[in-house]
Amino acid sequence: MSYEFSQFGQHLGCGSGIEELMDDLGHALASGGPDLKMLGGGQPASIPEMNGVWRRRMEELMKEDGGLERALTSYDPPRGNPRFLDAIATLFRETFGWEITSENIAITSGGQTAFYFLFNLLAGDMPDGSRRKILLPLVPEYIGYANQGVSGDLFRAVTPLIEKNGPHDFKYRVDFENFEITPDIAAICASRPTNPTGNVLTNDEISRLSELAKQHEIPLIIDNAYGAPFPGIIFTDATPFWEPHVVLTFSLSKLGLPGTRTGIVIGPPEIISALGSMSAIAGLSNPNIGQQITLPLVESGEILRLSREVVQPFYQEKCRLARKAALDVFGDDIDWFMHRSEGALFLWLWFPGLSITSAELYERLKKREVLVIPGHYFFFGHDDEIWAHRHECLRVSYAMDEAVVRDGLKIIAEEVRKTQ
């Protein structure tokens, strides 16, 4: 029997880049042998000290009178557990002096859901018949945004400036000279640090974007899935930023709790209230377990210490080892660059003049049991389809064991050399 899907169903139910990649990676993991090098995906590393914290908290919940029941057997209000909302507001108010209350906070079922709600709340087909879009200050940008519009493509992206800082080092910069906010722009959005590149927008860049958003009376959305102050996977100076027109998103995933699906949004009360309504319609309420596990860590500020003293040093060392391995295996006999690693879990590799596309390189690597992400998927909202750069890049995760990352990079280097 053949079923006819609605426009909504055709857009969300008939495949996407992120679904293809996750399906591909999932099948490879299920059927792969012991030599599989899983350098794709965004799975966080298993940090023993953080695992110990989660185990301790689960034991405490089971010992507390009604603790486990609060986490598992009741619905929270659609915006989240009131005590957890108060704790988040207090943490940011007392630590950074932000004038926020629980009315500025909403919980969603993971960060991905937060952006699905936010993008479709602000952009798309409008009541007056117009259509609005989300402006990305630079690409490449997080692949998970790309297909979230219920009424089609929602994005417009600005081509970045490429700043070369050494023989094999580069960084993307926002091209403010060509940064235009037209009347059809509903919001500006950027991840900090950026997935896939590890790029961190500077404090000055964030301030400039905020001022532009304020002038045009639109929100600035900053995705802190890897950022400050938690989980704090950030290796450069980046001050947490908020103003009344700014929407911030956080997640418990990269702290080590991806299975709890807990997203945290800070923003204007009007937007936050709408997110609560959307949560009620889409899923009644949000998962309790992540909120209950981390509640005392938020109330005491321990979540900031763990991010600063455990999570950040763990990933910074992994980053250092991965970059050293890349410098060793790629050498100077091929033309290659690596984006400056300022945070997140990835190396972003660029091979100027690559004679095959990154998609073809991905297929060759997959045959050798090395899984990465081809770069072209991250260049959406961008009209310049012939820009070769988008087909010359790879995203490589360094969250795996050092030996796995090094061996995978060695095979990547071998395959790139074969194309020359």
Encoded amino acid at 111, one letter:
G
How would residue 111 be classed by pLDDT, with cut points 50, 70 and 90? very high
Of 292, 237, 232, the C-alpha closest to 262 is 292
**Cα–Cα distance measured from residue 38 to residue 395, given in angstroms and rounded to the nearest whole number:** 12
What tokens does 218 get? 């639109």
pLDDT digits (tens, 9 = 90+) for 256-267: 999 999 999 999
Of 395, 349, 391, the C-alpha closest to 372 is 395
Q: Do strands 346-350 and 393-397 pair parallel, antiparallel, or not at all (unpaired)?
A: antiparallel
Q: Is the pLDDT of residue 190 over 80?
A: yes
Class of 73-305 per CATH? alpha beta
Q: Do strands 220-223 and 246-251 pair parallel, antiparallel, or not at all (unpaired)?
A: parallel
Question: 259: phi > 0 → left, psi -120 to 50 → alpha, else beta; which?
Answer: alpha
What is the average pLDDT value for the chain, to the nearest integer? 93
Q: Is the pLDDT of residue 4 over 90?
A: no
Per-residue pLDDT at 267: 98
- Distant-in-sequence, close-in-space partners of 120: CB < 8 Å, separation ≥ 6: 148, 149, 150, 154
pLDDT digits (tens, 9 = 90+) for 379-416: 998 766 658 999 999 999 999 999 999 999 999 999 99
Q: Is the pLDDT of residue 80 over 90?
A: yes
- Distant-in-sequence, close-in-space partners of 29: CB < 8 Å, separation ≥ 6: 36, 38
Per-residue pLDDT at 170: 97
* Mean pLDDT score, 156-172: 95
Question: 110: phi > 0 → left, psi -120 to 50 → alpha, else beta; which?
Answer: left
Q: Is the pLDDT of residue 90 over 70?
A: yes
pLDDT digits (tens, 9 = 90+) for 21-33: 667 666 666 666 6
Per-residue pLDDT at 71: 87
Q: Where in the chain is the domain with CATH 3.90.1150.10?
A: 7-49+310-418
Per-residue pLDDT at 30: 64
- Distant-in-sequence, close-in-space partners of 418: CB < 8 Å, separation ≥ 6: none
Report how many helices (DSSP H) and strands (DSSP E) the chain contains, helices first: 13, 16
**Cα–Cα distance measured from residue 326 to residue 6, given in angstroms and rounded to the nearest whole number:** 47
Q: Is the pLDDT of residue 332 over 70?
A: yes
* Mean pLDDT score, 134-139: 96
Sign of CA dihedral 11, 15, 19, 21: negative
Of 412, 362, 370, 392, the C-alpha closest to 39 is 370
Encoded amino acid at 202, one letter:
T
Q: Is the pLDDT of residue 122 over 70?
A: yes
pLDDT, greater one: 218 or 151: 218
Per-residue pLDDT at 27: 66
Q: Where in the chain is the domain with CATH 3.40.640.10?
A: 73-305
Per-residue pLDDT at 177: 95
List the CATH code of the domain at 7-49+310-418: 3.90.1150.10
Per-residue pLDDT at 11: 72
> Does residue 197 contact residue 228 with C-beta atoms inside 8 Å?
no
pTM above 0.75, yes or no: yes
> Does residue 209 contact residue 201 with C-beta atoms inside 8 Å?
yes
